[in-house]
Amino acid sequence: MSILEFDHASDGNPLKELQDALRRMDELERATPTGFFNWGDTGSGSSGTTMNTPGNVTVPTSSDYSIGNHPLALARVISMYKALPGLVGFWPMSAVRRDSATEQARDVSGAGYHLTNNNAAQFGYADYTPYCAFNGTTQYLSRADGGAGNWADIIGTETSVAAAARGLTMGCWFNFDAVPAADKYLMAKLSGGAGNFSYFLRGNNDGRIRGGVSVDGTNIVARSYAATNITASTWIFSVMRFDPSTSVTVWYNSNNEGNRTSVPAAIFDGSADFTIGARHAGNSPMAGKIALGFLCMAQLDSFTIFALYQLSRALFGV
């Protein structure tokens, strides 16, 4: 029995079972992730199965968020994303604004950084899980930069963030129609040419996931590849995390790879649009779907990233 379900036939007391399920949820939510860097921070591609947890709270598995109670599972997933530290924008693709002038994927973080829908990318859902689908030629989501130091110009030195937490984390669930044979961007703040690069997460031309940052707008000096190849028509969880002067790490579901060489102290503050489904001006667009996109002005710890994956994976049949 999962923590999101209760079985009326098990002991004849469904109210007690629901109370027990809620108690288990509360225990999980009170678990403090601070200091649990033994999973995933070495860049070794290790999984989270050996991670210790505070207070003897069990790390959740996909069965704990059963798709059998899908609307409740989706609501709890969205609630957790909205509580991420340093959250700048969150686009689950469930909320859409449409009027005579524009159509947007709404940012539900509360910050109001809604993304313009370029060339009628299609919002849909499967098994109650919302997504945005892109045709691989013209469709993508974007928001203008807004000037130096503006909303998406996360460089990793923001003084409003505690020093130990400074950095950048972004990610999504994605589903490519075909394994990319050329670079296809999931999320980026990256111009169509050198001189205006900041950060990106993409399906690489070798069929793997790649993330990176630039120190000068021209050179991607820190990049990391996921060890596992992309599988077409399959939902995959991916995150890119920038830890200033330390590492750039990319997740493929629960596994990760990190690069600790030539990592800059700050990301270049460029003027390219922030985009989902392509890079600036719709270059290098992907064909496929994206869901639960987020951007944080902080380096999320590995416990939190692992929890995001475990909490949301049942929604995607993973």
Task: Report the CATH number that the domain containing residue 293 is assigned in CATH.
Answer: 2.60.120.200
Answer yes or no: is 2 within a domain. no
**Residue 144 to residue 108: CA distance in whole angstroms:** 18
Give residue 16's pLDDT band: very low, low, confident or very high (50, 70, 90): low
pLDDT single digits (tens) 143-173: 998 877 889 999 999 999 999 999 999 999 9
**Same domain for 95 and 159:** yes
Answer yes or no: is 1 within a domain. no
Asked if the model's pLDDT at residue 254 lies above 50, the reply is yes
Give pLDDT, residue 128.
81
Give pLDDT, residue 306.
95
Give pLDDT, residue 160.
94
In Å, what is the CA distance from 151 to each residue of 92, 108, 258, 270, 297? 19, 15, 26, 12, 10
- In terms of pTM, does the model score above 0.85? no
pLDDT mean over 122-129 = 89
CA angle centred on 75, ends 71 and 78, rounded to 5°? 140
pLDDT mean over 33-48 = 34
Type of residue at 163: A
Give pLDDT, residue 99.
74
Q: Lowest-confidence range among 17-26, 43-52, 55-64, 228-237?
A: 43-52
The domain of 240 spans 75-316
Looking at every residue in the chain, the average pLDDT score rounds to 83
Asked if the model's pLDDT at residue 11 lies above 80, the reply is no
pLDDT single digits (tens) 61-119: 555 445 555 777 888 899 999 999 999 999 999 999 887 678 999 999 999 999 999 99
Q: Quickly list H helices, the chain.
A: 8-11, 14-30, 70-82, 302-312
pLDDT mean over 43-65 = 42
Mention every residue, 6+ apart, whose C-beta is less than 8 A from residue 224: 43, 210, 211, 212, 240, 247, 248, 249, 250, 257, 258, 259
State the sign of the Cα–Cα–Cα–Cα dihedral 167, 169, 170, 175.
Answer: positive
**Same domain for 82 and 58:** no
**Same domain for 209 and 190:** yes
Domain-ending residue, one of 40, 67, 94 = 67
Give pLDDT, residue 203.
96
